[in-house]
Structure 1
Amino acid sequence: MTANPPTRIAQLRQASVAMLDGLTPAQQRCQSHPELSPMLWHVGHVLFMETYWLAERVFGDTSVTHAWRDLYVPEISAKDERSARLPDAADLRAWASALAEQNDAYWQRANDVDHPLLADGYLAAFVRQHYAQHLETMRLVRAQLALDAPEPVALTMEPAAPDSHFETIAAHSVNIGTDTIDAYDNEQPVFTAYPAPFAIAPHCVTNAQWLGFIESGGYQRREWWDAPGWAWREQAAVEHPQHWQPLAEGWAIAGDEAADTGQQPVHGIGWYEARAYARYAQARLPRELEWEAARRAGVLRDVEQVWEWCADAFYPYPGFRPFPYDGYSMPWFDGAHFVARGASVHSEPEVRRPGFRNFYPPTHRHVHAGLRLARA
């Protein structure tokens, strides 16, 4: 990606503030899911973080960040406590407009400043990606709010069998990771991997194929689940993807109402469910390095429709070094977060690269993630 185009940062700011449009004051403040913050918080947070990295870290200006740190720094502001402390939308829009003007002036000054964070356009790329990732999260907030639609529409969809066609990838060497200035620390350093031969499905698992899993007893048959996944399924009483609603006849699938819904990649499932489906299909999830190798080889179709669960827990690459702070990746190398690759229909261009690594707990089902199958 190129060095900072100020117009793109301005576009991302504007898109973030526009996420408030069309929502009622209650919806703007609502915590629509336990893992999602209110829309008002996300909008304030992205403006705050641009200001933190640019005004405070580069120019030493804490006039804004000092006043709002307790609300907009995630580590010191619990999700379930944010709603009551947020300003209303009018005040937030005015604050965002003032910050945009201030930060644009700082970006202009940054052209003449020698600072490690500004080298080669790094900070601009970092800020763009932060906006991009939160824009996707804000779209997930809107998707959760839409689940409360009063009249679900039944869809006609026939169950389908799992994929039987796989593309074989021969043993070879492949460079893994990202070597451009926009790379996050967990994508570096680039290293050479030597995947053993494997086969991977060209297409993601579809809604119709997931319906086949359901109708085959997928959520009742213990043999397809590992022990932690089965314990979670029973405790959470999960019987279908998060946004599916069973009706007297058929299913309502919020947000996926289309003529070819059955052929769209399934999402609304967590890693445990993806693993269970793979066993049902007599296959497995692709390993993360296999997924990237297949992506770089050009054999994957319908990429960037859903995030795709991989088999691996999130881990550091050989020679990993945290940057620009310890907290972006390091806390999540805990064996309890699993990799999702690709991108989704909600993703911005800034994260649509082969080496980008997403990661979530195995129970997260609201993140627009699905799967494709692999075999040894």
Structure 2
Amino acid sequence: MSAFPAADDTRDAIDASTLAARYRAVRGRSIALAAPLSAEDAMVQSMPDASPAKWHLAHTTWFFERFVLGARDGYAPVDPQWDYLFNSYYNSVGPMHARPRRGLVSRPSLIEVLEYREEVDARMARRFDAGDLDEAAARVVLLGTHHEQQHQELLLTDIKHALWCNPLGPAYRDDLAHRAGQAAPLRWVARDEAVAETGAEPWPDAVEFAYDNESPRHRVLVAAHALASRPVSNAEYAQFVDDGAYANPALWLSDGWALLQAEGWQRPLYWHEDSVREFTLGGWRARDPHAPVCHLSHYEADAFARWAGARLPTEAEWEQAAQGVAVDGNLADAFALHPQAADDDGAGLRQLFGDVWEWTCSAYTAYPGFRPLPGSLGEYNGKFMSGQVVLRGGSCATPRDHMRASYRNFFPPQARWQFSGLRLARDGA
């Protein structure tokens, strides 16, 4: 059964040649991102929340084989056993290998996974060339390309954690450029109380792609508030650390303080204890005081905001500010793969997109009238609406054409290994 109903006259058809080009470009970028990795690198799983690069390459391929090619009766899979190995969390599809044990799967080899990708891509190419994708299948392909872009970001953050765990501190790439900048003075940009429209029109009814958790578009009363003109910098967060904030329970949410004590956190993930260096995808580097601080949990972001006499923004406040702003900045396409200070233009909000995902104070819940996608793909977002917090804006590891103002990322509040930082907010205009 198709994941989407058949097209009707109210919907614009997806252009087949554009979709085929996007498919090839996204799939090629995954291979390029994995190219610096050895077979040994690609198998490492450094913690249960991360996955091996080899698994990311295989799972994204499985998605197209399972939900596009395999949707047709009589389809013969490349290897039926891989349906179990490379399923992630689609319980309606069938059982899957336990996530914390993905790093134990030495077979199939990296070479076999790459051959798997080539075979599925060849089968997909035949479908594209023959014009053999109906509108419902084309929508699944488009969704699959965005799904793969999410895994491209995860491939980078997961391998960063794995290489950081290596005592040698090796670089993912040693040719990543770093542009020195000067953090602009932090200013406040105020807004009066307003009724704002947020979210996206449900896709695939709407022309523009958006995940189901971004819809429907709805009205929200946004109280008078002000947002900081840029994300919090490394230098500002260092003041928080130096002030003894990690030893001050008054600043922390209860669960955050308990986690802090249990894990012995004293600084952001990847900050060296020498207070000078931080670990990057380019290896150990001097910490740039002007760049946005990153790799913070929600608990750390919230505690910093409390220490600064401010708070985290709501996701409605963030989206209201981002509407109409061009998706541009230090995203993955810039190939810095690390946050950088932005030039100061003297006005408005800076770095809304790229550099760091910005924690909000909003729980990840359904919008009024939310409906998940039909079928198995309905498991993609909706079932995670418990115990997660929303982040906005993308990061230095997010592809530009994957990002939009309504995009809702979400992670549990203890997560630190993503490129996550914060922007301050305060009440009243």
Q: Structure 1 residues 267 and 58, CA, compared in 2 at 3 Å: closer, same or farther?
A: farther
| Distance in 2 between residues matched to 1:25 and 1:124, nearest whole Å | 28
> Among residues 375, 382, 385, which one is paired with 1:330 in the alignment?
382
Note if contact 2:127-2:133 (Cα within 8 Å) is conserved in structure 1.
Answer: no
Which deviations, in whole Å up to 9, do the C-alpha atoms of 1:211-243 show, x marking residues without a partner?
A: 011001111111111111111111111111111
Shift in Å at residue 366 of structure 1?
Answer: 0.2
Which deviations, in whole Å up to 9, do the C-alpha atoms of 1:240-290 show, x marking residues without a partner?
A: 11111112xx32111187788111111111001110000000000000101
Count of aligned pairs between the two proteins: 363
My pick for the range that moved more, 200-209 or 53-62, is 53-62
Shift in Å at residue 37 of structure 1?
Answer: 0.8
Shift in Å at residue 113 of structure 1?
Answer: 4.8
Secondary structure of 2:366's counterpart equals coil
| Distance in 2 between residues matched to 1:48 and 1:126, nearest whole Å | 14
2:409 maps to amino acid: N
* Partner of residue 118, structure 2: 97
> Among residues 78, 87, 100, which one is paired with 1:80 in the alignment?
100
Stretches of structure 2 that go unaligned for 5 or more consecutive residues are: 1-11, 90-95, 172-182, 202-206, 326-347
My pick for the range that moved more, 177-186 or 213-222, is 177-186
Matched, 1:234 2:251: no
1:31 maps to amino acid: Q
| Distance in 2 between residues matched to 1:59 and 1:221, nearest whole Å | 61
* Partner of residue 368, structure 1: 419
Q: Structure 1 residues 60 and 373, CA, compared in 2 at 3 Å: closer, same or farther?
A: farther
> Among residues 401, 410, 421, which one is paired with 1:359 in the alignment?
410
Q: Structure 1 residues 100 and 152, CA, compared in 2 at 3 Å: closer, same or farther?
A: closer
Matched, 1:150 2:168: yes
2:195 maps to amino acid: S
Note if contact 2:191-2:225 (Cα within 8 Å) is conserved in structure 1.
Answer: yes
1:349 maps to amino acid: R
Q: Structure 1 residues 23 and 113, CA, compared in 2 at 3 Å: closer, same or farther?
A: closer
Note if contact 2:293-2:421 (Cα within 8 Å) is conserved in structure 1.
Answer: yes
> Among residues 26, 35, 51, which one is paired with 1:21 in the alignment?
35
Matched, 1:38 2:32: no
| Distance in 2 between residues matched to 1:288 and 1:365, nearest whole Å | 19
Identity of aligned residues (%): 28
After TM superposition, the score normalised by the length of structure 2 is 0.79
Which deviations, in whole Å up to 9, do the C-alpha atoms of 1:183-234 show, x marking residues without a partner?
A: 1110111112221111100100011111011001111111111111111111
Shift in Å at residue 83 of structure 1?
Answer: 2.5
Shift in Å at residue 94 of structure 1?
Answer: 1.6
Matched, 1:106 2:127: yes
* Partner of residue 227, structure 2: 200
* Partner of residue 66, structure 2: 52
Q: Structure 1 residues 258 and 232, CA, compared in 2 at 3 Å: closer, same or farther?
A: closer
CA RMSD of aligned residues (A): 2.6
Stretches of structure 1 that go unaligned for 5 or more consecutive residues are: 154-160
| Distance in 2 between residues matched to 1:283 and 1:151, nearest whole Å | 36
After TM superposition, the score normalised by the length of structure 1 is 0.89
* Partner of residue 275, structure 1: 302
Note if contact 1:122-1:182 (Cα within 8 Å) is conserved in structure 2.
Answer: no
Q: Structure 1 residues 34 and 5, CA, compared in 2 at 3 Å: closer, same or farther?
A: same
> Among residues 267, 272, 293, which one is paired with 2:320 in the alignment?
293
Matches within 5 A, 1:261-272: 261-272=288-299
2:380 maps to amino acid: Y
Shift in Å at residue 141 of structure 1?
Answer: 2.1
